[in-house]
Structure 1
Amino acid sequence: MRSNEINIMVNWGDTDKAGIVYYPNYFKWFDIAGHQFFRSCNLSPQKLEKERNIILPLLDARCSFEKPLLYEDIMTIHTEVQEINNKTIKLSHQVFKGNVRTGHGYELRGWVSQQDQQIKAVPIPLEVKNILQENTHTKDMADRTVFNA
């Protein structure tokens, strides 16, 4: 299945009083990594909405925390398609500081048509499924730019 990696630096506002990453930030970073993943395979959420009236709402998310991240740590988020169903896409996320995994989880997103102020889950087209099932790995930005979230 298709996968992608991005780097993000922990900012001061991402930490608690002890200087450790405040846990909800993992979900923010999962969202950023998910959007970058879709952009990396030419399925930008903005493009999908504009050209196909498709949105990708979050239906479920989970995260397990294993090791702390601290201010100015640079993490790598590895995102991979875990599952494609008729109307949903499940992305897994693994967060690393160097070679040490600090957390992992997933996002379940719907493939939803938005027309006339109504939304309805619709089948994912075969060409999109084929793109998502390709055994391709990308690293966002050739120079591995650090994204500040």
Structure 2
Amino acid sequence: MSTQTHGASAGFDWPVRVYYEDTDAAGIVFYANYLRFMERGRTEWLRALGFEQDRLRAEQGIVFAVTAVDLKYLTPARFNDLLTVRSSLSHKGGASLAFEQDILRLADQAVCCRGSVKVVCLDAATMRPRRLPDRLAAAI
């Protein structure tokens, strides 16, 4: 249940339901869990483009690491809410990717959390930055 519009950078939506384990004592999504939801959105975006992260590690010798995050919490999400993680590629560098990600509540399209996330491509053996593989760079 995902959507992608006109190219990899235009946007990708991934559904997430809020489970009890995602909430805090106040019954709202614990702030750090929005990062988990965003990670799922980026992982599923790659998968939709035909790239599995375990295969990228095994076959290309690369992994991705988050290097910067900026989040704004706008309205709370609660237990059992159905959310949409909307991911858009905002910048592609030689060894890095930057994303804009919104987490929206499906019922009213309210933006619960908005974030910018930068990831770097690393050599899995040395953990040093490495250029994106040509096939991946061409797909995005």
Q: TM tier, shorter chain?
A: 0.7 to 0.9
The corresponding residue for 1:106 is 116
Unmatched tracts of structure 2, length 5 or more: 1-8
User: Once the 2 structures are TM-superposed, how far is the Cα of residue 119 of structure 1 from its aligned partner?
Assistant: 2.2
In 2, Cα distance between equivalents of 1:13 and 1:114: 32
- State the identity %: 15
Counterpart Cα distance in 2 of 1:73 and 1:107: 23
Give the Cα separation in 2 of the matches to 1:58 and 1:86.
Answer: 15
Q: Which amino acid aligns with 2:98?
A: K
TM-score relative to the length of structure 1: 0.81
Matched positions, count: 130
Note the 1:39-118 alignment, pairs <5 A: 39-98=47-106, 99-115=109-125, 118=126
The CA deviation at 1:2 is 4.5
Runs of 4+ in 1 over 6 A off after TM superposition: none
Instruction: Note the aligned Cα RMSD (angstroms).
Output: 1.4
Unaligned runs of 5+ in 1: 133-149
- Cα shift at 1:12: 0.8
Q: Write the deviation string for residues 70-122 of structure 1: whole angstroms up to 9, x where unpaired.
A: 1100000111111101110112211111221111102211111123xx22212
Letter of the 1:123 counterpart: R
TM-score where L is the length of structure 2: 0.86
Structure 1 distance, partners of 2:10, 2:56, is 18
Distance change (3 Å), C-alpha of 1:71 and 1:25? same
